[in-house]
Structure 1
Amino acid sequence: MHYAQLLFPDFSLILIGYLLCRYTALNKPVWQAVEALVYYFLFPVLLFQSIVRTPLDLAAASGLMGAGLLTGLGGIALAYALPRLPGLGKHIDRRDHAVSAQVAFRFNSFIGLALAERLAGAQGLQLIAVLIGVCVPLFNVAAVWPMARHAERGFLREVVRNPLIIATASGLACNLMGLTTPDWALPTVSRIGAASIALGLMAAGAGMQFQSLARGKALGVALLAIRHLITPLLAWGMARAFSLGQPETLMLLTFSALPTASSCYVLAARMGYNGAYVAGLVTLSTLLGMISLPFALGLIGRG
C-alpha cells in the first residue's frame, strides 16, 4: 500500500490527460504537439541534467548497467520466442508479432523519471537515467530490426537520431569530463525538467486508446505478461545476482515494471504496420502499470 500511495499522484496525471483529451477542447492534435515538445526538447534536457548534476562512478554503476541490460535482453528474447512456443505460435499472426513485440520490452521514460524522482530524489533520477542511457539503444534496435525491411529509412539512422540517446550520450560525456550546468542556468533547467514530467504523464494519458483490443488476444496477453510480470521477476533475480544496493535495486525494479513506450504506436504507424493494434496494447500496458509497479517494488527485501 505504501508504494501504491506514492504512485497515485503520477497516475492521477495520466488520468487527467485522458479526460482532458476526450472531454474538452484540448483534443488529440493538441496532445500530439505536447508529446513532440516533451520528447524532442523538455525530456532530453531533464535526462541531460539528471546525468551531469552529480559525479558518476561508472565502476560503481556497472552492476546496475549489467543487470539492466540482461533484464532487457531477457525480455527481448522472450518476446521474439513467442511464435515458436508450442500451442501459442499457431494463434499468432507473424506481422502483428513483428510490430507488437516491442511492447514487451520498451518502456515509458516519462513515467520512469517521474517515479524515480518521487521514490529516490536526485539519486533516483541519475540511476534511472543511466538505465535509460544503456537500454534505449538496445531496445530501439530490437524494436526496429524486425520491421526494417518495411521502413523507408534504415534502423541505424532511426537509433542514432533518437533524442534520448543524444541527451544521454552528451550527458555522460560532460559528466566524465567534469562539466556541469552553470549556476545561472540551473533555475531554467530545473523548471524545464519539472514541466517535462507533468506534461509527459498527461500526454501518456491523452494517448490511450481502447479500440482494436479484440484483435490478437493471445499475442497481446503474452506480450503484456512479459512486460508486467516476467520482466519484474527477471529484474529481481538480476538485482540479487549482481548484489545491488537498495537504491539500485529500487530503480531497477521500477524500470522493469514501467508501462511500455507510447512511441510504440508512432513507430508502428510510421513503418506501415497496424498502429491501432499497438495503440490498444500501449493503453492496456499503461493501466497494468498501476498493478505491476507496486508488485515489482514489493519484491524488495524478499528472499
Structure 2
Amino acid sequence: MNEDTIRAFFIGCVKSSDVALETLIADPKVDLRGVLTLRGSKFNADFVNIAGRAEAARVPVHYAEELDKTALPDLLREADVQVMFVIGWSKLISQDVLDVPAIGTVGFHPAELPANRGRHPLIWALALDLKQTSSTFFLMDEGADSGPILSQVPLAISSDDDAASLYKKVLNAVPGQLRTIVTDIVSGTLDPQPQDETKATYWRKRGPADGLIDWRMPASSIRNLVRALARPYSGAEFQLGENHVKLWRCAEFDGEVPKNAEPGKVLDAGPDGPVIKAGIGAVRLIETSDMPSLNEGNYL
C-alpha cells in the first residue's frame, strides 16, 4: 500500500474484542470507520460492551440486533472500508460481507491452527489437558477458522492454568500481534500462509451436559474440567439431591484413597474442603457455590 493508514471496520463483543479494539484505536495507522457489536449476550460468558470505548473515540457503533444482516455489505462500502477485523464473534461472516474489504478480513482464533478449529478453544484445551495452544490471526474465508495464517504465537499451558489465566495469556499476546499485522498491511509486506488442510481438526460445540461432573471420572479429568470452566465461564457442576452445585476450584487429593470406596462418596468433610472419591483417586473441593454442608460418608 502507498497510504499511511488503513480504513478499517471492527466486529466483536467479548473481552478479546475489547483488547483488540483498544489496540486498533490507539494505532495511528488505523482509521476506524465503524464497529458492529451486541447490546448484550446470554451466549457469551465473557461478553463485554465495547460500544463505550468506540464512542469515546468517536467511532460509529452499530448493533447486530438492530441491523438487517443484508445491510452490512452496503454499510462497509459506504464507509469505504479496506480491511475488517472480526475478533470475538461466534457467528460466521457471510461471503457477500467478506467480499467487500479489498485487503480482506482479519479473524482470530486462540488455538494452534490448522488444528483445533471450531468452538470453545480455550475450554477444550484445558479440559483435554493440552500443554500448548496459540493465539492465531488469519485472513477469513468462507470456512470456519480455515483461512491463511497472518500471525501465530505459541502459548504454554501450565498445570496450574485455568480459564482465567489462560485467557489472560491470550489477551497479553493480542496487542503485539495486531500492531504487527497493521504495520505489515500498511507497508505492503503482509504474508498470509495457507493452512495445511491435512492437519485440520475441529472441536464441536459444547452443551450443558459437557459441564456436568461424573464422579466415575478420574480425579485428573474432574480437575481439568473444573479449571476449563472456571470464571469467566459458567463453571463445572455436579448434582446434589435436587440441586446443581457449581465447582469453581478443586485439587487432586494426594492422601491415601480407599480402593473399596465408591465414586461420589465423601471421604472427608474437614475444614480444608470435602474430599470426594473419584473413579480413580479423589478430589478435594476448594470453592463451590450453593453447596449445603456435607458429612463423611455422604454420597454425591
TM-score using structure 1 length: 0.24
Larger proportion of helix? 1
Q: Which has the higher contact order (CA 8 A, sep 6+)?
A: 1
Larger Rg: 2
Larger proportion of strand? 2
